[in-house]
Amino acid sequence: MAHEGSSSAGGGAGSTGSSRGDGRGGDGLDRDGRDHDDQGLDGGGRDDDQAVGGRSHAANAILISVVAAIGGFLFGFDTAVINGAVDALAGEFELSAGLTGFAVSCALLGCVVGAWFAGSAADRFGRPRVMVAAAVLFTASAIGSGLAFGVWDLIFWRVVGGLGVGVASVIAPAYIAEIAPAAIRGRLGSLQQLAIVTGIFLALLSDAFLAGQAGGASEDLWLGLAAWRWMFIAGIVPAVLYGVLALTIPESPRFLVARGEDTRARDVLLRLMSGRAARERITAIKKSMEGEHLVGLANLKGPRLGLRPIVWVGILLSLFQQLVGINVIFYYSTTLWRSVGFEESDALTITVITSVTNVVVTVIAILLVDRVGRRPLLLTGSAMMTLSLGAMALSFTQSTGSGDDVSLGAPWSTIALVAANVFVVGFGVSWGPVVWVLLGEMFPNALRAPALAVAAAAQWVANFAVSTTFPWMSQNLGLSVTYGGYAVFALLSGLFVLTQVQETKGRELEDMTGATGRDRGADRQPATTG
């Protein structure tokens, strides 16, 4: 596979081999012992800003990160595509409400398992190989779900897709963090969230297109298959693209150094930084791994309830990201939009507006995360979410009716509508992308993959819990209490960041010690650039 070689991975932008034809060995030294790297060159007479193949180091990092982020696209696509198919498949298989709900949410169980094992698999087999495995799972799920002959068959393939989503949720942020230069790592890490919301948007758009072509999701479209089946089958295209492109990107230099493959690690780093910086980075990676003899999940053991403190910080970041209720906040969005003039039949318009808003605010986060830092964005997002959720809770104290028939009169309907959109903006510019950035970079090198796996698994468990408890809470406790509970978690998330989360902006991964609590000096640490 292309990523295993050291000469041409990445379509011609490849790295130098260990034996060169210019009179120098793979260590960058002339035969007379002079080190050309110390002259500000990477050993081949190229300027520090130019990588092998003519592209700049930053351009190489961006292209590699975009490929890795396609896993996030599949993550969003797979979790959203069933929205347009659920009513049609429920009718075809004659499902009860409970079984329909499980057919939708069962993928989350696969996500938990996939995330849990992704870290140890990545540390054993390498990052790109695990990406390819995720692509295979996505492809199998798309085919199996589209050709399902019964509900339990469908559920099985949905769980298989969930395994792929769980793997992608771990491997993409870890790999991007390990590849990206510190100065732009936040922006590249945020590509994961941008890919997720883009995948959600295109899944919903493709659902609407296919249903429109057939005259309904349950109507036959092509080859005698109903439109809802083609909604799943459409996922084959991005899944295969992901698998093919994953074969073209290099292995993580941190993974290679851990396996003693320093020459290959240096070849990868030369695509991302100058020769001197590459050599220094390898030394720093080795030093950061000193004293870490345990592997996998065993390396996470520590004094706080059996885990290291930094692992708990990652877990709680993941939990708070879900406990603010982002995945159910628009459960009654149709009612809110209808109260200001939209018809219930305008569901696609509502979905498109919400999805585009998500994409736009994620782009804003990408532009800000390396400028203002991770902590300021998270704290701002927590404040916006607390206030907006509080406003929604207050608004629904004035509601009439219950269940799907709940209604709000003026001015509370407008207040609730504005608050809901402020919540989406607040989450999208902060906790949506920034948590993925932090999870990819905050752990020491020896802990990164397994710690991220545990944190991501916790996130999927919380996602499942919030999604399944919301209907009961809204029916039995009321929307005011439910949204009020989410507001409390939003407030707690801000306090948690204020007291436990360090700023990581501009710091190299090798400088991540695993310390917790506020780091007042992090912003003053210069990034090592190539």
Kindly report which listed range (98-102, 157-161, 449-453) carries the lowest average pLDDT score.
Answer: 98-102
Query: Residue 248, Cα to own-chain centre: how many angstroms?
Result: 21
Measure the CA angle with vertex 316, ends 315 and 319; round to 5°. Answer: 90
Q: What does the pLDDT read at residue 118?
A: 84
Q: How far is CA 261 from CA 277, 441, 521, in A?
A: 17, 22, 34
Q: Using CA atoms of 468, 473, 476, 480 in order, give the dihedral in degrees to the nearest 10.
A: -150
Kindly report which listed range (91-105, 341-355, 466-480) carries the lowest average pLDDT score.
Answer: 341-355
97 — pLDDT class (breaks 50, 70, 90): low
Q: What is the dihedral sign for C-alpha 391, 327, 297, 126? A: negative
Query: Residue 346, Cα to own-chain centre: how many angstroms?
Result: 30
Question: How many CB atoms lie under 10 A from the CB of residue 212?
Answer: 12
Q: What does the pLDDT read at residue 133?
A: 92
Q: What is the mean pLDDT of residues 19-34?
A: 39
- Pick the closest to residue 443 from 316, 304, 310 (CA basis): 310
529 — pLDDT class (breaks 50, 70, 90): very low
Q: What is the CA radius of gyration of the chain?
A: 24
Asked if the model's pLDDT at residue 106 lies above 70, the reply is: yes
Question: How many CB atoms lie under 10 A from the CB of residue 301?
Answer: 11
What phi-psi label fits residue 437: left (phi over 0), alpha (psi between -120 and 50 degrees) or beta?
alpha
Residues 6+ apart with CB under 8 A from 332: 406, 474, 479
Give the C-alpha separation, 322 to 286, whole Å: 35
Give the C-alpha separation, 81 to 212, whole Å: 15
Give the C-alpha separation, 335 to 470, whole Å: 17
- Is 246 in a helix, a strand, or coil? helix
Fill in the DSSP letter of residue 30. Answer: B
Average pLDDT value for the chain: 76
Tokens, residue 461: 């468990």
Beta strands in 404-494, from DSSP E residues, in sequence order: none
Asked if the model's pLDDT at residue 362 lies above 50, the reply is: yes
Tokens, residue 388: 């907006």
Give the C-alpha separation, 364 to 373, whole Å: 13
In DSSP notation, 87-148 reads: HHHHHHTT--HHHHHHHHHHHHHHHHHHHHHHHHHHHHH-HHHHHHHHHHHHHHHHHHHHT-
For residues 161 and 105, the answer to whether their CB atoms sit within 8 Å is no
Q: 236, exposed or middle or buried, with CB in 10 Å at 0-12, 13-18, 19+? A: middle
In DSSP notation, 357-413 reads: HHHHHHHHHHHHHHHH-HHHHHHHHHHHHHHHHHHHHHHGGG-BS-GGG-B--TTHH
Asked if the model's pLDDT at residue 222 lies above 50, the reply is: yes
Q: What is the mean pLDDT of residues 223-237?
A: 87
Give the C-alpha separation, 434 to 189, whole Å: 8
Give the C-alpha separation, 295 to 341, whole Å: 58
Give the C-alpha separation, 145 to 118, whole Å: 23
Helix or strand holding residue 189 (H, E): helix 185-189
27 — pLDDT class (breaks 50, 70, 90): very low
Asked if the model's pLDDT at residue 266 lies above 50, the reply is: yes
Provide the residue type at 271 as one letter. R
Q: What percentage of the chain carries pLDDT values higher than 90?
A: 14
Give the C-alpha separation, 50 to 230, whole Å: 45
Give the C-alpha separation, 125 to 1, whole Å: 13
Q: What does the pLDDT read at residue 376?
A: 92
Provide the residue type at 365 as one letter. A
Asked if the model's pLDDT at residue 4 lies above 50, the reply is: no
470 — pLDDT class (breaks 50, 70, 90): confident
512 — pLDDT class (breaks 50, 70, 90): low
Q: What is the mean pLDDT of residues 379-403?
A: 87
Give the C-alpha separation, 349 to 346, whole Å: 5
Query: Residue 272, Cα to own-chain centre: how many angstroms?
Result: 22
What ranges in 477-501 are assigned the alpha helix state H? 479-500
Does 335 or 485 have the greater pLDDT score? 485
Q: What does the pLDDT read at residue 63?
A: 83
- Tell me the per-residue pLDDT of 306-354, one tens digit each, with 9 for 90 and over: 678 888 999 999 999 999 988 776 555 555 666 555 665 566 667 677 7
Q: What does the pLDDT read at residue 400?
A: 74
Residues 6+ apart with CB under 8 A from 512: 288, 441, 442, 443, 444, 445, 504
389 — pLDDT class (breaks 50, 70, 90): very high
In DSSP notation, 240-277 reads: HHHHHHHTTSPPPHHHHHHTT-HHHHHHHHTTTS-HHH
Tokens, residue 326: 């982002």
Q: pTM higher than 0.85 for the full model?
A: no
